[in-house]
Each structure stands twice: as C-alpha cells, then as structure tokens.
Amino acid sequence: MTYLFALLRKIKKSRLNPNHSRSRAAFKSTKTGSLATERPAPTSNANSTPSSPTTGTPASEDDEEDSSESSRPSIMEGLGENFAVVEDGWEDSLYRHQVDEAVLDDYLNSRNSHYKVDDDGTGRWTCLPPQAEDAEELCEPLSNIISSILGLLEEPSGEKSTREVINSHSDAFKYGTYKEACPDISVRATGPSFQLPKPSEEYVEGLGYSNAASVFDVLLDGHNLRDIDQASKMANHCKNIFLQQPNRNFVRSLIITQSSARLVHCDHSGVYLTPFFNIHRRPRTFMRLVLGLSSRKEDVLGFDTSIKWKVKSKDGRKRSGTITVVGDDGIPTSYILRMGRQPLVRQDFIGRGTTCWRAIHPVTGERVLIKDAWRPETRLSETDFLDTAKGIEGVVQVLSHQDRLAETKGYRPDVFEWKDSENRIKSRVVMKQYGLPIDCFTSRFQAIAALRDAIAGNREMLSRGVLHKDISIQNILFGPPGATPGRRGVLIDLDMAGWMRNSRRELRVNPFLGTRRFQSISVLLSEMWHCSPSHDYFDDLESIFYVLCTLVLLFEKPGVRSEPDERNFVKWDHSDPVCSGEAKIAFVNAYPIEASPFWGEVCEELVIGFKAILKPILDRKDAIRVSRKVPKEAKPDKLEAIGREFDSDDVYENVIKLFDDALLAIEREDREAAGVVASTSTLPTASAASSPLPTVPKADGRRFLKRPADGNHSEASPAKRLHRS
C-alpha cells in the first residue's frame, strides 16, 4: 500500500504534457514489474469455500510465452505484464452504433451541451478551466459534462436500468484514508448485472465496484505520469470491477485532463491504452466513449449476458439468477444459480480469469459446478481431456460444455500487433460438484483414502494418454458424502493437461506452469540447466508425493499446522524455481520424516515408502542434469528415456498398494481404539496381486503393515459400514 499511495500522490502532482504520447508509432509495448494480484482464489469444484493454508503459490498459469506469476505482488505495486499503447485513431472507431452523428451535432449546438464553438471555428467544453492547481478541481465540471451527455443522449433500453454520474470528491465520500485509491468519477448503475455494495465495499455512499458501470480518473495537463503508472492504477480499478461483476468479459475506463482523454481497455489478454486525444477538437469521439462506457446495454459494457440476475427492489441486491449453457446438441439449458454460494473468482484478471459458479440443473435438481475460463488459443480446450476422462473414478466428470463463447481478439483494433499478448478463448464447462479440497480433512483415513483414489484416477488417465501436469492440494477434492472406494477423492482442473503422444515442444516441462509448491524437481530445475524434457508421469507422481508430504508432515491434526515444518515447506513456494527445487532436493535427501501422533507411524511409513519408490528415479535424473560428460543437447533424450524404462502401471500399482496397506492399518488402529469387533474390510482388493514393493525397513529392521486388518472403518460408505446393535 505504501507504493500505491506514493504512486497516487504522484498522479495528482504530475506535470508532463500528455500530448507527448501522440508521437508513438502503431503501438508501444513495455515490460516492467507485475500486473497481478495476491494469491488466486481456489477454483475448486467444492461445496464451500474454506480458507486453505496449503494452496501454494501459482507458478504461472500459461505457457512459456507468458510471464511468471510466482512472484507477483499486488496489482497496486505496478504493472508487470506487458501493456500496449495502440495506434491513434482506434478510439474514433468505437461505439459509432451508439448514436447518430446528426444527434451528436444537434447536442453540441444546443445551449445545454457545455460546448461552445468560437467565431474562428475552435470549440471547447466551456466549463473546463484551461488552468487548474489540482486535478480535483476538474472533477465537478467533468461530472457535469458527462451527466449532460448521458442525460440527453442515452439510448433507450427495455430493461430497468439507470446511470448516474458520481463525483467521488463530493462530500459523500466515505473513506478519507483511501480517497486517492478510489475512482475520481464513477457511473453508478442499476440493472440485471449490478447490485448495491455492502457498506464495507462502498467508497461513496451507495456506490462501490459492484454497481459501477465505468470509472474515470482525472489528471492535470502537464502531468509527468508514465504510461505504466496510469495503466497500473486503472487496471486496479478494473480488477475490482471484474471481482465484483464476475460476468464481465472486459472493462473499459477513461483518463481525462482539462484538454485530453485516453481510453484504457482491460481484458484477460492484457491492458492497452489509446494515446491521449484532444477532447475539445474531437468532442464527438469523447462523447461516443462516454456513451459506450455508460451504456444501458450490458453487452456493450462487456458483460456476458448468458448470465442473468433478478435484483431485489427493496435492497438492490441480486436475489436469483441463471447461467445458460448450449450443449453439443445445440439445446440451451439455463441452470439456476445458487445465490447463497458466491462464485469463486480468480483474483488475477489477466490470464485464465477462472470463475466457478455453483448451480442447480433446472430439471433434475442436481447440484453442479460451472466453470468459465479463458485459455490461450494455442492450448487445447480442457473439454478435450474431460471428455477423455468420462467414466474414470477419481477424476472430475463433465456433464456438458460450450466452447468459444468469446475471444479477446474481438475487443482489439482491427490492425493490432502485440507480441507479448495472446488471443484467449472463453469456454464453459458443467461438472459434477464434489466436496472440499483434501487439506480440509477431518480424519487421517479420509485424507489418505481420498489421495489414494485420486492417484488411481491419475493412473487411469495415463492409460488413456493424458498427463495432468498441475496436480496440487487444491486440485484434489473429497468425493460426495458416502462415496464408495474409488470415488472418495477426485482429481480436478485439467486446464493444463497434455497428450502423451504430443511432441516435446508441446509437453516440455515449464517451471512457470502449475503451482510452485507441488512442482517436480525436474520441472523446477529445467531453466537453470537449460534442459527441458517432456513432462512425464514421474512428474505427476512427484507432485502427488508433495501433496502427501504436505498433509502428513505440515499438519499436526485437522486444521492445525506445525510451525517448524511450515517454515521449511514455505521454501517450496519460492518465486525462484531454482530455490524451490533445491529445497525439495534437500528434503528428499535429508529431511526427517516425522509425523505427529495424529498421523502416527502408519502414515510416516507411507511417506517413507513413497519416497523409496521415487528417489532412485530422482537421483538418476539429477545425475544426468549435472553431468559434464553428457552433452547438453542429449540430456532431454536421456531424461525421457528413464520414464520409458519402467512400466507406468507397475509403478502406480506399487504406490497404490502402499496406500491400501496404510488404510488397512488405519482401519485396524481406529477400530482397536474404538473397541470395535473386526469383520470385513471395505477396502478395494484390486492391488492384492500387485508387483512387489521395494523393501522399506523400519529402524529396527521390521517391515510394517504385514497383515490386512478385518472390519469396517467408520468413514466407509453407509451401505458398507459394520452394523452394530
């Protein structure tokens, strides 16, 4: 926040002629710090939104052409994604359908327009002073001009919607401490996609980002504010609008001085600005932008109108809503939004912009989760992998999907080249709804059983040629209540999945994809050693291993973390992938595997056994990476060859057997602690014929978990629990 307030003070005191911007060529692209936000909200297919301490840091969400998100601070601390200043003239082409030119001319010639043409043919907005000491002096006259334009020229609308111009610097301003962090001028809106803010969300009485159609920032002529600083502040406003208005596809705003204005456009591909243009010499362009950014037609404002709400007249809050999905058969289904459950909205608007809606099927009443996301056009749709995963227990099941609802290139100028931006495509997926993320466990049996079933699902996906590539603790959910073995844990989020048949160029490991804490060592060190082999199933298994370690070693018991272990685990989240990789190497080689009494020796030995399966492979990969005898260009081939030496099904079977044996022991211990009579186990028996495991001796030379236990665990599905009188 210190940086923000320094920036905002600079904004108000700036003194460099903005018209210098006009000398640009077609566009200008600038790299700096970070346009991004705090940790993204989980996009889990969950029934509620818990506070999860083990989410980890997103390394990035996009492919190698995108910048890393791993070290992104708040968006307020600067714009680090590339942004562009487009060619002068694009602003003239916008919103020409909003109003006829003749109407604009009639308005400018009217007495109430605040615009006057002198005898020499030079026009100007008369209420704007040519000179001002402070930008705040311009807010009132600009508000009057904008109000006048909206009042006389607003297009009719059949919906109950209104627009009202609010000067944030009026006496109604609520929070003096944050005064400069809020928009100078806002267009307060009512209508299907807006709602009154909660009192804590207001920056003016009755006004917040939830009911702002657009916002305007005011500067003085002669300001010395860089494009990057202007973009950063406006992008922060737009970020808050995206969060409070989750069906927005794009947000536009204006920066205005006493003589000029520029448009700022924000969408999921990035941020771009027009050059400043003179509002006195080009009043029609200014009026069209004001009308477009304040339109009562929600699609013009950038809303996805397939999502609709009804607003309570009493309190101005949304009371019901629907989201429509057009299935493969071309038939639309309007799902009923669960208004008691807020959508899960990804904090960073640049990138996937994932929003998850909780809804109900209008006919069956089934609870579903509907996921909207914007993928790069170079990436396959998640639906390709979801369709392949149909019928696999332990993997999220898709019910319906719709692709290409929108594309960000549709919001750009016709002639627009920006090498650091990529067109993104919006897709919508309807999935079965599952439980909470796995770190919200209430018992060790529940956690280990869920992870076991997710591993089995991952193995089955592999048999169908799919690598997940982004396994994390937030991407493994509990199955529905009473789930049978095989469905107790569910692997979700196939956004970054890939086909095993693809080339190395498409599958190569990338430390800026996925969640840092759970990335494999091979992925993390690929940049340092300039060695990027294809992502393989060992990378997925290693991610699962780190999920297990996080559960068993970080948590002392449900909801309680070990502070000493947390200090070590946080190193895995380091923004530098090399630091994270080196921390994991140290962990695998020397970290003591000591679980709390809650987990017990059974889970401790499970971690040790899993590590024993992975460590020989990790050591061999490390030897190839550091070898000076192996040519650099040959290293990816040799690393990939290691995965082909092993039968993946055997490897997974060995891992699953470890989990099955651990669950049998947990059943036995929990029954003994409860004094329950033994009967028949509820665990699956498919792994009974699995190939031999590596020997994992205990410190005293004994093997653990020799005998299967009898009886039913209390958390088995109700139909299979032991019935007691």
pLDDT in tens, 588-639: 998 889 999 999 999 999 999 999 999 999 999 999 999 999 999 999 999 9
Cα 498 to Cα 616: distance, rounded to the nearest angstrom: 26
- Closest by CA position to 265, among listed 287, 298, 289, 291: 289
- Closest by CA position to 257, among listed 427, 79, 20, 87: 20
Q: What is the pLDDT of residue 169?
A: 79
Q: What is the pLDDT of residue 172?
A: 61
- Tens-place pLDDT, residues 354-411: 999 999 999 999 999 999 999 999 999 999 999 999 999 999 999 999 999 999 999 9
Can you tell me whether residue 508 is helix, strand or coil? strand
Structural Rg of the chain based on CA atoms: 29
Residue 75's CB: how many other CB atoms inside 10 A? 27
Do the Cβ atoms of 336 and 365 come closer than 8 Å? no
Q: What is the pLDDT of residue 157?
A: 56
Strand partners, 641: none
What does the H/E/C string look like for 343-374?
A: CEECCCCCCCCCEEEEEECCCCCCEEEEEEEE
Cα 167 to Cα 155: distance, rounded to the nearest angstrom: 22
pLDDT higher at 688 or 434: 434
Q: What is the pLDDT of residue 42?
A: 39
| Distance set, CA 620 to CA 176, 572, 624, 638 (Å) | 61, 21, 6, 10
Can you tell me whether residue 187 is helix, strand or coil? strand
Beta strands in 559-668 (DSSP E): 560-561
b/e for 424-454, b at 16 or more Cβ within 10 A?
A: bbbbbbbbbbbbbbbbbbebbbbbbbbbbbb
| Distance set, CA 532 to CA 376, 519, 527 (Å) | 21, 14, 7
Cα 52 to Cα 259: distance, rounded to the nearest angstrom: 49
Residue 560's CB: how many other CB atoms inside 10 A? 12
pLDDT confidence bin for 51, thresholds 50/70/90: very low
Region 331-351: mean pLDDT is: 92
Do the Cβ atoms of 187 and 213 come closer than 8 Å? yes
Cα 398 to Cα 497: distance, rounded to the nearest angstrom: 15
Burial class (CB within 10 angstroms; exposed 0-12, middle 13-18, buried 19+) of 74: middle
Cα 28 to Cα 31: distance, rounded to the nearest angstrom: 10
Q: What is the mean pLDDT of the chain?
A: 83
pLDDT confidence bin for 76, thresholds 50/70/90: very low
pLDDT higher at 710 or 146: 146
Can you tell me whether residue 44 is helix, strand or coil? coil
- Tens-place pLDDT, residues 692-721: 444 433 333 333 333 333 344 555 443 333
Instruction: State percent of the chain over pLDDT 90.
Output: 63
What does the H/E/C string look like for 415-451?
A: CCCCCCCCCEEEEEEEEECCCCEHHHCCCHHHHHHHH
Per the rule left: phi > 0, alpha: psi between -120 and 50, beta: everything else, 358 is: beta
Indicate the DSSP class of residue 189: E
Q: What is the pLDDT of residue 505?
A: 81
Tell me: pLDDT of 3 over 60. no
pLDDT confidence bin for 531, thresholds 50/70/90: confident
Q: What is the pLDDT of residue 684?
A: 54
Q: What is the pLDDT of residue 32?
A: 31
Q: 213 φ, ψ to 5°?
A: -70, -40
Tell me: pLDDT of 282 over 70. yes
Calculate ∠ Cα 454-58-49, nearest 5°.
65
Q: Which pTM was predicted?
A: 0.82
- Closest by CA position to 185, among listed 233, 256, 125: 256
pLDDT higher at 289 or 701: 289
Strand partners, 202: 208
Structure tokens at 528: 């340092």
